[in-house]
Chains A and B, each alone.
Chain A
């Protein structure tokens, strides 16, 4: 439960944000504005860092599915 608290606080903070209307999403709609705009490249990089460092995940699941770490 403790771990949920920061997220609930963040949700409350975010809920006070400016309400962006659907017709104002012209910039956010661009493909390069996707949070992960190049999933293949992200996967390559995540796999390299997973193999060479002690951290993984963050953006998504931290698993690696390989014997390299």
Chain B
């Protein structure tokens, strides 16, 4: 936002230090409304999403404020199911498709039976990345926040969020306390966030590391709890330079498995027929096991941001984040944005982001019979505690290039448009397979390519 209204000093500092509190203070009593629309799409007809959002903030004369944000999110498309790419076609049963078909049959709903009859099974052709095409969800998120100045330069923020989608519900509450020091040149902050999530897939929670055909369910629902702590310092360094350093600690306990993801079990690089196969006539169904992740995850991240004014109306924003967790994932994120004022009429913001992460210890593109899984008759036992082929837990780097155009309009109104293009690059070491086998020479990581457009309109009155 670039509003032409000059603000008093106290407000400007609040603006500069409000990132942790996720609030923007105002000079006088007014309303601020921010609206936006995100249109997101991935290449290869993977996920596409449309996401409108509206945020309304009421600013009071005592610099306290209340705000509410509503986000709607509509997603559909295909998502990698975790199975390895093979040189032969693969037929998958879709747990969610079967569950919906079952329900449609119970309800005697012909339309639904027709719709889901084709979705219960799907075929991936030789050499193609196996995708579950049935991915479809609508999400609604409501978040509320209240900021209040206290005595002696302290500010208190209280907030909460509720998010719901077909198979997932999340509740969170947070509080942050900040203190201005050194003639408002330094702000110290401490924030706590508590989150409670419940996952409830249509087909139940699969028994981890068991055959997807057996379709054993551990329960109907499961939960996890997340606690986040953020310590921050914001410092005005010079007349042109403000910097922020945040240290974040996160503890997540409970169910982390993705109920829709599984892994191929290979024997010397060849797919194995599932001994429990009692499904489709004339179709070979191979052995895939549901993934499993540890019940606990601890993360630490360090975030450093610098914002430097250039000339009288430009600015450069450089940030770096380091994250490490006890799943073996380390990541580096570098972000650079330049704010270029064009003759006081509008502004441009070219953006570059580079991200890289190492793989989780239990990430693997497939499981190997003998080392990772044992099989005797129809008895299948995982020899590993945890395993996932989810590309999000693999090693990759990613670059984003973006551009935003913002046009200040009459009386504190602003219209903006931005475009971002995102591309991942595989950085996993190749898991060797026997020459000439089904998996030999096939891609072991589905690099994601995505782009998105955001339109924003903001105003005050």
Contacts and interface: CB of A to CB of B under 8 A. Distances in A.
A26 B333 CA distance: 31
Interface string A54-69: 1101111111111101
Nearest to B228: A61
Contact of A55 (B9, B188, B244, B357): B357
Interface in A19-56: 19-41, 43-45, 48-49, 52-55
Given A34-B15, A41-B418, A67-B199, A23 B191 contact: no
For the complex of A and B, the 7 pairs showing the least CB-CB separation, nearest first, are A67-B168, A29-B12, A58-B303, A65-B170, A65-B163, A27-B309, A35-B19
A52 B329 contact: no
B228 A62 contact: yes
A43 to B, nearest CB: 7
B285 to A, nearest CB: 27
Nearest to A44: B38
A32 B411 CA distance: 17
A33 B315 contact: yes
Contact of B16 (A22, A34, A58): A34
Contacts of B163: 65-66
B386 interface: no
Interface in B132-186: 137, 139, 141, 161, 163, 165, 167-168, 170, 172, 174, 182-186
Interface residues of B, number: 109
Given A15-B182, A66-B139, A59 B305 contact: yes
A31 B168 contact: no
Contacts of B392: 52-54, 69
Contacts of A20: 185, 236, 238-239
Given A53-B357, A59-B319, A62-B301, 14 more contacts: A28-B16, A34-B19, A36-B19, A39-B22, A40-B53, A41-B36, A41-B404, A53-B392, A54-B329, A54-B331, A61-B193, A63-B226, A65-B170, A69-B392
Nearest to A17: B237
Interface string B340-367: 0000000100000001010010000000
Contacts of A38: 1, 404, 416, 456
30 contacts: A3-B249, A4-B231, A6-B302, A7-B231, A10-B233, A10-B245, A14-B233, A17-B236, A25-B9, A25-B239, A27-B240, A31-B15, A32-B1, A33-B242, A34-B16, A37-B1, A49-B355, A53-B331, A53-B357, A55-B301, A55-B333, A57-B228, A57-B248, A58-B302, A62-B299, A64-B170, A66-B139, A66-B141, A66-B165, A66-B168
Which of A4, A11, A34, A49 gathers most chain B CB within 10 Å?
A34
B244 A18 contact: no
B13 interface: yes
Contacts of A65: 141, 161, 163, 170, 172, 195, 197
